[in-house]
Structure 1
């Protein structure tokens, strides 16, 4: 009997892990697809015959002028290097660690919400990058220094992978994704023993990111506001309609399985 119970426990655990993996794989795949679209941005713009000189940065100047340039009045080498670290490394760590925490806890609900919100942010932002290109502030404002891009040539090469012409400004993905991850950590980690530490770190990184995207000569204030609105929108949809989205996705998978069985 003990051996049978142990075997059943292993089988049950294996089924739970398989169920957990299958629950968020469709959303991870969707996010990967969007990354692919980002890499193909220039090809898509050419296919749609978008004018390569099209740019709406002038409207940003009309809205907020050169207000963002005042942040660089406090510029120091230390502040620039630490801001670049937060922008490149801190941002990535926040997203990856949020995902890993939920995965480690085998929290299916939070994994689904994170995946849905993450994908929504990219899907909503992408059409703006194609149809509403806005140059970075350091490329538009004469008094704005390109602090991030002048640190090292490899940084520019890395950034251009997802932003080939440095005009994917509105809305800010850094603002949207960091705030979305923070909202999930703050509201969905009641069962985690180190919640206070996790929340404090997430809040600190998110606030720092909002500063760095402006200070480094990348985003407009309007971009940041757009990213914040996008974060709250995607968070609301993911947390409010998760069951409907998961159920709809499950029906599609079920139909595909039946189709394969018939074949």
Structure 2
């Protein structure tokens, strides 16, 4: 009877946490709506537009910080903050390299977070072979995409910086995706993969592989905000799962 009562209590606690997390994310949803309401493709770059664009990411950082505390600063919170810096830089085309550098740091911080003890994973041998196979597939896809993009990178201004810079960036985002697979957290994995898809679509437009689509930026931003949301929620859930795992080990 005690076990049943404890299980029911845990389920109520998880429901309460999910509701509290949803309400804490309402400012993020509101700021995202404001961005898409105010955004126009031909708007002049300004401090206000940079602030509106980066606000959802900064609000996500505040949510993760409030749930997980200061130890997450060198992890998902730090990654979200650097992503917001990248958001601001990409408002101005001449700051593209700076924005790419900020996002590269963000991916590195995400990777460090996914390696941390907060992400409890089952290291059973039955699934490790599949994990290694997914690693390999992700690395191969990253290499193939860089090879495909290479001729286009040579044609753009600052190609001497972009050719190696994009290669490093693809390596870091591929590492982030691979480590997200290692966590075995669905939200974290989906967020990382959607982030990669968003950046892939952005690169195809920025480097003139495809013509700029009418709603191309909207597709990039929708997938980008969704990816950041899933990574943030995954980090919060990882702490909850770790606490539940610790309770189970003590029982």
- Return the TM-score normalized by structure 2: 0.34
- Larger relative CO (CA 8 A, sep 6+): 1 or 2? 1
Point out the structure with max Rg over C-alpha: 1
User: Counting helix residues as a fraction of each chain, which structure ranks higher?
Assistant: 2
